Chains A and B, each alone.
Chain A
Amino acid sequence: MTEYVGVLLYIAIAVGLGIVILFRSYKVRPRRLDLEKATAYECGFEPFGEARSPFDIGFYLVAILFLIFDIEVAFLLPWVLGGISTGSSGFFAFLLFLVVLTIGFVFEWQKGALEWS
């Protein structure tokens, strides 16, 4: 467990830095809040509708395709860390894994899933 002390230190420094920045900016900034400043402002009008508007479903498709390739990358990492010692057979399994996923990539490219019109 001692090999993760660096990670712990990193997280502690990041959290501490974030706290310091937020706290200092909170303390240092001038606070002169009046009624006009606190109103919701949208080009001089009252807000017309919800700030949240529904997305196009194309974003979701891109996110799902990203998720699949993300999982693929997660499966490639054990090969780098230990699978190299399995030699050429492991390498060909690795290549076959990549080829099957490349077929899927070519499929979605040809179907136009990566196009944005």
Chain B
Amino acid sequence: MSSSFALIATGALMSVFLMMRSKNPVHSVFYLVLLFLHCSGLLVLLGLEYFVLLQLLVYVGALAILFLFVVMLLDIPSTEILRHQRGTYPVAGVLGLCLILSALLAFTQPLVESPFQTSPIPTTSTFTGQNSDFVSSSRHYSFWNNYRTATSTVANLGIRLYGVHADLLIIRSLLLLVAMVGAVGLTLKRPVSVPNQDVFRQHYVDFQKSLVQIPQNKI
């Protein structure tokens, strides 16, 4: 566990470093995608499958494209971006110092009862403490063992989301609706009144009727 964590965390740090150092902003976006992939690997190690999926679907799939579009929308030459990047080193230095200090503090004062250190498999110590005679008899233990079913966190989330907290789902859909209306209202250009090509009308022209023979006396 810890070796894979070290591998993925090192990869994430390296991709962050490359993202900061790369001269081309488009390359920076690609290194950002690499960073998102490493973050999803860290989430796999934590056992949060749904967040892995969200990370891959939303961040890698859609937000990276948005970042790329932002880079391409802004008409800034690469040399100008480089010139602006030079001023960020003091800020990055202060943030890095904070990171190193917090890491050192975490190493020197390890919290045993940290809320973040939860084991993915629930321990049975809480059950054995209350009714120990129930568990100690092997017959009952095997009885409960038959009913043990393993459900993934995504399946549990589905039951919670659609069974218990369905109202939150509806509120979320309204939020997405507001986002959609806002995006359309902010970025939609007014349709100009020029004769546009209507593809459907062009395809459904009846060829037999489109050519009309004009009588001779009309010419």
| Contact-size category for B | 35 or more
Verify A96–B159 contact, CB threshold 8 A.
no
A54-77 interface code vs B (CB 8 A; 1 in, 0 out): 110111110111111011111101
Q: Which residues of B contact A55 (CB under 8 A)?
A: 69, 72-73
Q: Contacts A63-B65, A71-B58, A97-B169 given: A82-B75 contact, CB under 8 Å?
A: no
Distance of B28 from chain A, by nearest CB (Å):
13
Q: Is A34 an interface residue (CB 8 A)?
A: no
Q: Which residues of A contact B173 (CB under 8 A)?
A: 72, 96-97, 100-101
Distance of A100 from chain B, by nearest CB (Å):
4
Q: Would you call the interface of chain B mostly helix, strand, loop, or mixed?
A: helix
8 A Cβ contacts from B148-177 to A:
151-152, 154-159, 161-163, 166, 169-170, 172-174, 176-177
Tell me the bound Cα distance from A94 to B163 in angstroms: 10
B46-88 interface code vs A (CB 8 A; 1 in, 0 out): 0100100110011001110110011011110110000000000
Q: Is B183 an interface residue (CB 8 A)?
A: yes
Residue of B nearest to A78 (CB): B158
Distance of B189 from chain A, by nearest CB (Å):
7
Q: Contacts A55-B73, A90-B166 given: A81-B158 contact, CB under 8 Å?
A: yes
Within 8 Å by CB of A85, from B73, B159, B161, B191, lies B159
Distance of B30 from chain A, by nearest CB (Å):
14
Tell me the bound Cα distance from A52 to B77 in angstroms: 8
Verify B169–A112 contact, CB threshold 8 A.
no
Within 8 Å by CB of B72, from A52, A61, A66, A89, lies A52
Q: Is B44 an interface residue (CB 8 A)?
A: yes
Q: Contacts A59-B69, A63-B65, A63-B66 given: A83-B163 contact, CB under 8 Å?
A: yes
Q: Is A25 an interface residue (CB 8 A)?
A: no
Verify A78–B162 contact, CB threshold 8 A.
yes
Q: Which residues of A contact B188 (CB under 8 A)?
A: 61, 111-113
Question: Can you list 11 contacts pairing A with B, beta carbon distance less than 8 Å?
Answer: A1-B1, A55-B73, A57-B187, A61-B183, A64-B66, A70-B57, A72-B176, A79-B162, A85-B163, A96-B173, A104-B177
